[in-house]
Structure 1
Amino acid sequence: MHAAVDALAAALHEYVGTAVGVRAEFGASEADEDPRVLALEAAIGSLNAQLYDALHGSLGMHPDLSSLVWASDEELGAGADADAPPAPEVAEPFYLGFVVGPGRTPDTSLDAVIDFLDNAGEQVVAALVESGFDVPEWAASRGEAADFEGYGDAGDDPTGGAL
């Protein structure tokens, strides 16, 4: 496992050195498409997969090693006591967005869509509760994500709640 980590670390160091050199020589936009940079990105992806396989084969884990997370150390819990129980989670809003066009027959209108979503919402809530989740509020809305007072603001979401 440590050999896989060492190989990945070496490739990352080589990538940084190459990317800095290519950018200095050609500029940022060209650096993204430079064959040396692309080759190193492919190699890093392969080495990351090898590390995954090593961890999975040795420890039986399914590690998520390729997610990108923009958060502070505090938000990620860095430096926290590893033996401490996890902090309780708080409720937060989730959104599922649709863009729906007019129906193909004259007896359908966009006004009927909210009824479909409301019925689907009831089924989702029932499934979530049956799975052990607490669903203190839910809503079907048209035009923008519902605002759940005290649970975050759709305006805080860069997508505005839409996908």
Structure 2
Amino acid sequence: MSHEDATHGPTPLGAVDPAPMHAAVDALAAALHEYVGTAVGVRAEFGAAEADEDPRVLALEARVGTLNAQLFDVLHGALGIHPDLTSSVWEPDEDAAADDADAAPADLVEDTFALEYVVVTRPGGPDLDDVVGLLDSWGHEAHARLTEAGYDVPEWGVGRGTDEHEEDDR
């Protein structure tokens, strides 16, 4: 979809049929409910590490990731917005909030890091839509490891396609 079409313009869209968006949410919700049921069953049989790697759990995680991408696409296509619906945000604990409040802006050092992949699939291979879900789950792991190492990670995300902002910097 071009970012030059009416859905991305400054003019309000007026009447928009929300039915396809609700259908995408319903499909995602059903997959999440199935995931919970499967994860509870798998965890009743296996330890946490085995459950994390169980093919049934991984397949549903990939399906949820695909459905999340489809929800993004239907919202983007109909409304022109870029919804951030897969981020996980936890409130900082009180000690961390106190540390941040005491720090002068000059005491804080912030930087942005990026890791990019070019991913290719062959006919009959896995669906490229599954990549976002996989990267999102690995992003959670990276976030946890960075936090355990003492870093604050106030935001992170997974995206697909060329970073539009990257073009602006050139």
Q: TM-score range by the shorter chain?
A: 0.3 to 0.5
What TM-score do the two structures reach when normalised by structure 1? 0.47
Q: Which has the higher helix share?
A: 2
Q: Which has the higher contact order (CA 8 A, sep 6+)?
A: 2
